[in-house]
Structure 1
Amino acid sequence: MPLPLATATTGSATVGTSQDGSVPRHVAIIMDGNGRWAASRGLPRVAGHRAGAEAVTRCLKAARAQGLEYLTLYAFSSENWRRGPDEVADLKGLLRFYLRHKVAELHGQQVRILFVGEVHRFGPDLCDELARAERLTAHNTGMTLLLALSYGGRSEIVQAAKALARAAQRGEIDPDSIDEDVVSQHLLTAGIPDPDVIVRTSGEHRLSNFLLWQSAYAELVFLDQLWPDFNETSFMQILEIYARRDRRFGARPA
């Protein structure tokens, strides 16, 4: 059952409730701009990632305040492994820090945490901590936070296709019965509603291999703001933009 969303006001605009369809159930964010934020201040890239992690905390607070049901954050793409070893090590260290120091707090707030992506690439120690976070929060009934780690949309679709092909080869599924719902059930986000809106910060206008299947009918919002500067006002701006969109899903206007 959808959670009720509180009415909120920013400036002269008022954000509605989930019942009238003006507030999304699921927001997904491509958190971009940490490196440019650091460079503009003459700081190392890791400082941008640390500031970006603080922006995540602000985003979560705003999302919970509005009663959002699902929030997905693109935290580490499959392409990020191509970055320098020092930066990758910094990102992994930051992930480990937040797993050890923030998960208990989120658990206390009834947030359910899920990870999607090829998380095995982070190694057994980090994988164990990821699994512990999922187990600890599995029965929480508040907002669901999905963190996309070592995630790539094309790879996800390929893996789903392989799984369906193997099932058909074993005679477990009739190829003619495969439809969009069946494919969705074999994605990493199975059981999670598709995002209503996908946001990218930093002024870039690309999906960058993020939720390619799931974004088919998502509203796209692009913000010029660099991710470390993201705050509650930014989140309310997203909700206001979404509330003004006319979502017809291919149907003609009434």
Structure 2
Amino acid sequence: MQSAETPVSSVPRHVAIIMDGNGRWATARGLPRLEGHRVGLEKAGDAVLGLAAAGVSFITLFSFSTENWKRPKEEVAGILRLLAEGLERTVKDLNAQNIVIRHLGRLDRLAPPLRHRVKEVVEKTKDNTGAVASFAFDYGGRAEILNATKRLMKSGIKAEDVEENTFARYLYTAGIPDVDLLVRTGGEMRLSNFLLWQSSYAELYFTDTLWPDFSRGDIEKALAEYARRQRRFGGL
């Protein structure tokens, strides 16, 4: 039996973005790959502000996966350095707009000073009342589900008492609604282990635009496409 089709709200509540294409953007311009990551980091703050201005309440950006540690050591070290350098500027801009900042993923593999700074940023903005911007850094969807399962097992909750809402409280995204619109830049058409649980019913939007070129005009196109979509609930 086919379910009824219901138009989605004109503005998604939660938009998640896989920020892909930094390295290719730099290579195409004869620049070091790290320059692409630098521009991409700057673009992240602008995207959060643009989406918040459009009425999106929750924004999640995928910037560094658990698999990215396998990249060349020099590139990884450069990305971490850029994160440390850009954190202050990004936080200042987002905090000024009343944005709450959250981190999704592991922190234990970051150097202590950077780990402390990330925690400090989260604490500093937790009482803001604007949009919630989550940065997925050292994040993997499967690792998140495994971690949640282990924590749930240790909690002592009986198996028969575990429901979807119960399980969701043990995910990194506890308190954040499921993804309505998932955007991937850079031309690839896969989820790459990003928010697997939370994106089960998300509308998917893929664009060839490389992340450093992703503008507010591109945000408007993605939101307009979302507004044209129809969701199917309760069936195939």
Query: Scaled by the length of structure 2, what TM-score is found?
Result: 0.94
CA distance in 1, matches of 2:49, 2:159: 44
CA distance in 1, matches of 2:103, 2:188: 25
Aligned to 1:155: 143
Q: For residue 56 of structure 1, report the CA deviation from its aligned partner.
A: 1.5
CA distance in 2, matches of 1:139, 1:58: 21
Q: For residue 251 of structure 1, report the CA deviation from its aligned partner.
A: 4.3
1:193 and 2:177 matched:
yes
CA distance in 2, matches of 1:249, 1:112: 31
Superimposed CA distance per residue, residues 207-231 of structure 1 (whole angstroms, 9 cap, x where no aligned partner): 0000011110001110010001000
CA distance in 2, matches of 1:249, 1:44: 46
Return 107-116 or 55-64, whichever deviates more.
55-64
1:33–1:226 CA contact under 8 A, matched in 2: yes
Superimposed CA distance per residue, residues 225-246 of structure 1 (whole angstroms, 9 cap, x where no aligned partner): 0001000000001101100110
Ranges in structure 2 where 5+ consecutive residues have no aligned partner: 1-7
Superimposed CA distance per residue, residues 121-159 of structure 1 (whole angstroms, 9 cap, x where no aligned partner): 112111100011011101000111000010000001011
Aligned to 1:104: 92
Amino acid corresponding to residue 180 of structure 1 in structure 2: E
Amino acid corresponding to residue 187 of structure 1 in structure 2: L
1:215 and 2:199 matched:
yes
CA distance in 1, matches of 2:136, 2:44: 13
Amino acid corresponding to residue 248 of structure 1 in structure 2: R
Correspondence for 1:243 among 216, 227, 230: 227
Q: For residue 61 of structure 1, report the CA deviation from its aligned partner.
A: 2.6
1:115 and 2:103 matched:
yes
CA distance in 1, matches of 2:11, 2:94: 23
Query: Scaled by the length of structure 1, what TM-score is found?
Result: 0.87
Moved over 3 A (4+): none
2:11–2:55 CA contact under 8 A, matched in 1: no
Higher relative contact order (CA 8 A, sep 6+): 2
1:217–1:249 CA contact under 8 A, matched in 2: no
Aligned to 1:77: 65
Q: For residue 184 of structure 1, report the CA deviation from its aligned partner.
A: 0.7
Correspondence for 2:34 among 36, 43, 46: 46
CA RMSD of aligned residues (A): 1.3
